[in-house]
């Protein structure tokens, strides 16, 4: 059985690492590394089959598959630079699976560096937040060599995710492009529901009318999104599962890509600016759903539901 390393124990990384240790193929052991070593030690004390390692080089050198789940492009670049400088002799033949949400250009550059070291790289961003991760219901995108995808498959469906979107033998950058586009669609839908609900309140439409329309016509995720907005989740919770800074990072990546392509995307410009206003008005630590409070205030309604 391959030896696994897990790099990065943020909110979702910690959950996925734990699931890998608990539900992975028999005899799966996970070497966990985090910049703040105490996070790895705490997780190892709580979950069997997880070993906290004190150095990134040890995590990489002692593993066959290295999963990377980090907060942003800078963190990913730093980790792979350190791997390149300290663990290059032991990297050949290994598989790096990058579950971070990063710019496709960053992924392409990292993949090129990894390939030069004789290793393989899979783009593998995640759709879904911590609650879905706890239930092993996130969706994983895999883009890269078919053999590398097959090598990682035993640790995916039913272990750390519920569904897979596979792009075999496609550039790893495609996985991250899909992640950015997918979240653009999701945030746009939330922003649209926020405006529709606020406007329906202003014009006196009964709340159940919009609820029935969403349930009958749109169905699916839109039902839960509308319920989440109306419940006041965005102002009642403490630390959000999805802070607005994540969307702002992703929208900036998309704006950059669109600019380079010469594409005009009006909806992207709108929702990107909305994210910026949420950050400016309410701070970087608020929930992505705070867009609802922003829209309500812009419509002359109270911030809170």
Active site annotation includes 86 = no
Which of 14, 94, 179, 249 is an active site residue?
179
> Shortest CA distance to 288 belongs to which of 299, 298, 277, 301?
277
CB 137 within 8 A of CB 129: no
> Shortest CA distance to 143 belongs to which of 173, 116, 113?
173
CB 73 within 8 A of CB 103: yes
| Cβ neighbours of residue 272 closer than 8 Å, sequence gap 6 or more | 248, 251, 252, 254, 255
**Rounded to whole angstroms, how far apart are CA atoms 261 and 255?**
10
Task: State phi, psi for 93 to the nearest 5 degrees.
Answer: 85, -5
| Cβ neighbours of residue 138 closer than 8 Å, sequence gap 6 or more | 12, 16, 126, 127, 128, 129, 132, 160, 161, 162
| Cβ neighbours of residue 178 closer than 8 Å, sequence gap 6 or more | 125, 141, 143, 165, 167
Calculated CA dihedral for residues 85, 67, 247, 212, nearest 10 degrees: 170
Which residues are the active-site residues?
A: 179
């Amino acid at each position: 059985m391959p030896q696994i390393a897990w790099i990065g124990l943020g909110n979702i990384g910690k959950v996925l690492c734990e699931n890998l240790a608990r539900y992975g193929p028999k005899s799966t052991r996970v070497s966990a590394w985090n910049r703040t070593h105490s996070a790895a030690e705490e997780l190892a004390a709580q979950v069997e089959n997880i070993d906290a390692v004190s150095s990134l080089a040890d995590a990489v050198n002692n593993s066959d598959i290295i999963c990377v789940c980090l907060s942003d492009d800078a963190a990913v670049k730093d980790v792979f630079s350190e791997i390149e400088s300290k663990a290059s002799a032991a990297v050949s033949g290994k598989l790096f699976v990058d579950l971070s949400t990063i710019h496709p250009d960053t992924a392409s550059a990292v993949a090129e560096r990894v390939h030069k070291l004789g290793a393989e790289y899979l783009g593998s961003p995640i759709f879904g937040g911590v609650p879905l991760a706890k239930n092993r219901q996130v969706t994983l995108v895999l883009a890269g060599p078919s053999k590398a995808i097959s090598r990682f498959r035993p640790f995916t469906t039913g272990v750390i995710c519920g569904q897979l979107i596979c792009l075999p033998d496609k550039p790893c950058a495609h996985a991250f492009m899909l992640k950015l586009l997918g979240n653009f669609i999701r945030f746009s839908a939330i922003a649209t529901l926020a405006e529709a609900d606020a406007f329906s309140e202003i014009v006196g439409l009964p709340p159940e009318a919009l609820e029935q329309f969403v349930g009958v016509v749109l169905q699916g995720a839109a039902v839960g999104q509308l319920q989440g907005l109306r419940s006041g989740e965005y102002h009642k919770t403490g630390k959000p599962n999805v802070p607005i800074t994540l969307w702002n990072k992703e929208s900036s990546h998309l704006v950059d890509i669109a600019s380079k392509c010469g594409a005009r995307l009006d909806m992207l410009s709108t929702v990107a600016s909305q994210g910026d206003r949420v950050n400016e008005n309410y701070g970087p630590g608020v929930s992505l759903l705070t867009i609802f409070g922003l829209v309500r205030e812009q419509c002359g309604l109270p911030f809170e539901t």
